[in-house]
Amino acid sequence: MANERLKTLGNNIRAERMRKRLSQMKLAELVNISTDSLFKIENAKQTPSAFIIFDIATVLNIPIEELFKDVPKIDYN
Protein backbone atom coordinates (compact mmCIF):
# COMPACT_ATOMS: atom_id res chain seq x y z
CA MET A 1 0.00 0.00 0.00
CA ALA A 2 2.76 2.46 0.91
CA ASN A 3 4.52 1.80 -2.38
CA GLU A 4 1.28 2.38 -4.32
CA ARG A 5 0.83 5.69 -2.51
CA LEU A 6 4.38 6.77 -3.36
CA LYS A 7 3.89 5.74 -7.00
CA THR A 8 0.76 7.86 -7.30
CA LEU A 9 2.41 10.84 -5.62
CA GLY A 10 5.45 10.51 -7.87
CA ASN A 11 3.29 10.24 -10.98
CA ASN A 12 1.34 13.33 -9.95
CA ILE A 13 4.55 15.31 -9.40
CA ARG A 14 5.91 14.18 -12.78
CA ALA A 15 2.66 15.03 -14.58
CA GLU A 16 2.49 18.52 -13.06
CA ARG A 17 6.18 19.12 -13.77
CA MET A 18 5.70 18.14 -17.40
CA ARG A 19 2.57 20.31 -17.68
CA LYS A 20 4.69 23.24 -16.57
CA ARG A 21 7.38 22.16 -19.07
CA LEU A 22 10.08 21.92 -16.43
CA SER A 23 12.92 19.45 -16.57
CA GLN A 24 13.74 17.39 -13.50
CA MET A 25 16.94 19.38 -13.24
CA LYS A 26 15.13 22.74 -13.23
CA LEU A 27 12.44 21.69 -10.73
CA ALA A 28 15.05 20.18 -8.44
CA GLU A 29 17.06 23.41 -8.63
CA LEU A 30 14.00 25.54 -7.81
CA VAL A 31 13.04 23.27 -4.88
CA ASN A 32 16.67 23.14 -3.72
CA ILE A 33 17.04 19.35 -3.84
CA SER A 34 19.28 17.19 -5.99
CA THR A 35 18.12 15.96 -9.37
CA ASP A 36 18.75 12.44 -8.07
CA SER A 37 16.34 13.04 -5.17
CA LEU A 38 13.62 14.32 -7.50
CA PHE A 39 14.17 11.32 -9.79
CA LYS A 40 13.79 8.98 -6.81
CA ILE A 41 10.66 10.79 -5.59
CA GLU A 42 9.03 10.62 -9.02
CA ASN A 43 9.89 6.92 -9.28
CA ALA A 44 8.67 5.97 -5.77
CA LYS A 45 12.16 5.14 -4.53
CA GLN A 46 12.33 7.93 -1.94
CA THR A 47 9.71 9.30 0.44
CA PRO A 48 9.75 13.11 0.35
CA SER A 49 9.29 15.15 3.50
CA ALA A 50 6.16 17.24 3.90
CA PHE A 51 8.28 20.35 3.37
CA ILE A 52 9.64 19.05 0.05
CA ILE A 53 6.10 18.30 -1.15
CA PHE A 54 5.02 21.77 -0.01
CA ASP A 55 7.96 23.35 -1.88
CA ILE A 56 7.23 21.35 -5.05
CA ALA A 57 3.60 22.49 -5.01
CA THR A 58 4.68 26.07 -4.39
CA VAL A 59 7.18 26.06 -7.27
CA LEU A 60 4.61 24.44 -9.57
CA ASN A 61 2.07 27.06 -8.42
CA ILE A 62 -0.61 24.48 -7.62
CA PRO A 63 -2.54 23.58 -4.46
CA ILE A 64 -0.69 20.87 -2.54
CA GLU A 65 -3.85 18.75 -2.77
CA GLU A 66 -3.22 18.32 -6.50
CA LEU A 67 -0.11 16.30 -5.73
CA PHE A 68 -2.16 13.92 -3.58
CA LYS A 69 -4.94 13.44 -6.15
CA ASP A 70 -5.88 9.75 -6.36
CA VAL A 71 -3.38 8.71 -3.66
CA PRO A 72 -5.01 5.72 -1.93
CA LYS A 73 -6.12 6.33 1.63
CA ILE A 74 -5.20 4.00 4.44
CA ASP A 75 -8.15 1.94 5.69
CA TYR A 76 -8.04 2.09 9.49
CA ASN A 77 -10.99 -0.28 9.95
Instruction: Give the separation between CA 6 and CA 8, rounded to whole angstroms.
Output: 5
Residue 38 lies in a domain: yes
Residue 73 lies in a domain: no
Residue 77 lies in a domain: no
Residue 24 lies in a domain: yes
Confidence tier at 76 by pLDDT (50, 70, 90): confident
pTM of the model: 0.92
Residue 39 lies in a domain: yes
Q: Is the pLDDT of residue 1 over 60?
A: no
Residue 10 lies in a domain: yes
Provide the CATH number for the domain around residue 10. Answer: 1.10.260.40
Instruction: Give the separation between CA 2 and CA 73, rounded to whole angstroms.
Output: 10
Instruction: Residue 11: give the domain boundaries.
Output: 2-67
Total number of domains in the chain? 1
